[in-house]
Amino acid sequence: MSSMIKVDQEPRGFIAQRAIGSGFQSVLFADCHTVEDVKECVRISRPDTPEDGGSYGVATRRFAYMGYGGSQKYVEAIRDVVVVIMIEKAGTVDNLEEVLSVDGVDMIQWGGSDYSMNIGKAGERGSPEIQDAERKVFETAIKMGVPPRAEVNTVDAAKSYLDMGVRHFCIGTDISILFDWWKTHGDDFRKALEPVMSKRGNEGTGASEQVCEKKHSLPRRSASYLPVTFHASFTWKEAWQLPRKRRETQS
């Protein structure tokens, strides 16, 4: 299985080249505002040879194994790195065909949230104007032979892109996947605990006192993990208030 890393605007050169040296076979470059930005991203990911015109030189990296690098295979490995560009700024949308014509751009990915913010319409990713821009980007990329990549969370959400001809997808992000899992299972645990907590509450001991009592009865290492179980089933606001509420209860 190949791997991809997404790098921000700064310091994109250092991070991208270190990632390639660590074994990443693909780099997704964010925050490109101009065609020149895109060309620089390609240079970063190409070997420093007369024919390639890149800036990646010889270095001791993991993908060179036990050598210093610089062999023909080393050069070929850098040439094989897939360069993906986020299309998420007005400059790249307005000059889309020029961006897609840059030699070395292997794929593009649409960033609707960034684009809506960049044009002064933050939070309107789903508006007709932004969706029209998205469709234009995908259709133009397909027409020019540059594979586009869509961001989706479910198979159902991918259908419209599949109908359009899109075949590459970014499925969720780590923070949203973890949050959804914790929230779902946290809610399930809360429901499972409700009868027990309710019974104990009727016996004269409140839920907050139960948490406090349990926390102090556990070994220190285990106690440090106890709040996580409960945070998952609360809103963010409630979760941030928990430490303060516990201190008040203990005092």
Q: Same domain, yes or no, for 113 and 205?
A: no
In a shared domain, residues 214 and 167: no
Whether residue 240 has pLDDT greater than 70: no
Q: What domain range is 205 assigned to?
A: 176-250
**213 backbone dihedrals φ, ψ, rounded to 5°:** -65, -45
Pick the more confident residue, 5 or 234.
5
- The DSSP secondary-structure symbol of 62 reads G
* 217 and 165 belong to one structural domain: no
Q: What is the mean pLDDT of residues 207-236?
A: 45
Q: Are residues 31 and 52 in the same domain?
A: yes
Angle, helices 207-217/174-202, rounded to nearest 10 degrees: 110
Residue 97, Cβ density class (10 Å: 0-12 exposed, 13-18 middle, ≥19 buried): exposed
CA dist 10 → 7, 30, 137, 185 (Å): 8, 10, 25, 37
Q: Count of domains in the chain? A: 2
- Quick: pLDDT tens for 61-75: 888 877 778 899 999
pTM equals: 0.74
Q: What is the mean pLDDT of residues 82-99?
A: 98
Longest CA–CA separation in the chain, Å: 81
What is the C-alpha to C-alpha distance for residues 163 and 122, in angstroms, rounded to an integer? 28
Please report, for the domain that includes residue 82, its CATH number: 3.20.20.60
- State the chain's mean pLDDT as an integer: 85
Based on the fold, state whether residues 90 and 50 are members of the same structural domain. yes
Q: Do 137 and 97 form a contact (C-beta atoms < 8 A)?
A: no
Q: Check whether residue 216 and residue 202 sit in a common domain.
A: yes
Instruction: Could you list the beta-strand ranges (E) of 45-147.
Output: 82-87, 107-110
Q: For 181-220, what is each residue's pLDDT tens digit? A: 999 999 998 898 888 888 776 665 555 555 445 544 445 5
The string of pLDDT tens digits covering residues 10-62 is 899 999 999 999 999 999 999 999 999 999 999 999 999 999 999 999 988 88
Please give the angle made by the CA atoms of 138, 147 and 23, to the nearest 5 degrees: 130
- Identity (one letter) of the amino acid at 39? K
Q: Which of residues 132, 148, 172 is at a domain's end? A: 172
pLDDT: is 70 or 229 the higher one?
A: 70
Percent of the chain with pLDDT over 70: 80
pLDDT in tens, 141-153: 999 999 999 999 9
Residues in the chain: 251
How far apart are alpha carbons 63 and 36 in whole angstroms? 29
Average pLDDT of span 94-107:
98
For Cα atoms 72, 75, 80, give the angle at the middle one, nearest 5 degrees. Answer: 125
Among 152, 172, 192, which residue terminates a domain? 172
Q: Are residues 59 and 9 part of one domain?
A: yes
Q: Give residue 151's pLDDT.
A: 95
